[in-house]
Amino acid sequence: MGPLIGLVLLCLALALTTDTFLTFRNILNVLDQVTVLGIMAIGMTLVILIGGIDLSVGSVLALASMVMGYVAYPDYLNLGVPVGIAAALVVAALCGLVSGLLVTVTRLPPFIATLAMMSVARGLANMITDGSQIVGFPDWFTNLSIVRHFGFLSVTVGLMIVLAIIFAIFLNYRATGRSLYAIGGS
């Protein structure tokens, strides 16, 4: 409860000392900024529920993003955004498979296996583009996170909300979801 109380006190202090903190626009900006982390947190919740740990999620996200950009961007392979997204999903799944095999087959502790994957994924992400950013995607793609539908909801925020609802229902009302709690508790 300590961090929650600290967050509430910080929000209260900011709300009282500035007139821009508790505005609709600022709340939307914060919501836009947390969508990627929010979606990753949903997946990490499942890992933590079963008593596991995965240190590589951020680096795997970076690697998958660089692969998507490299495959899709005109200065590189120029195969289009849908192919880039598919390539990113395959790379992320392969990273998860390797981490999972390291834990299950070689019996490495998850901490060590995912720490190794974190280092490998981070290094590969930097190698793909020599550490430079990939910018200039098609407008329809960048608009997924910029354009606000109904005046407040971007597609990425909507996706995060839908996924949070689906996983909340799964964890609370499905036997498979509830069994994840039991696996982590044993």
Whole-prediction pTM: 0.84
| pLDDT tens digits, one per residue of 46-65 | 999 988 899 999 999 999 99
In the chain, the amino acid numbered 169 is: I
What residues does each domain of the chain span? Answer: 25-50+138-186, 55-136
Instruction: Spell out the residues 6+ positions from residue 42 whose beta carbon is closer than 8 angstroms to its own.
Output: 160, 163, 164, 167
Rounded CA separation 44/80 (Å): 29
**Residue 25 to residue 31: CA distance in whole angstroms:** 10
Would you give the distance in Å from CA 58 to the centre of its chain? 7
Q: pLDDT per residue over 90-133, tens digit each?
A: 999 999 999 999 999 999 999 999 999 999 999 999 998 888 88
Give the pair of three-digit tokens for residue 151.
């005046």
> Residue 31 is which amino acid?
L
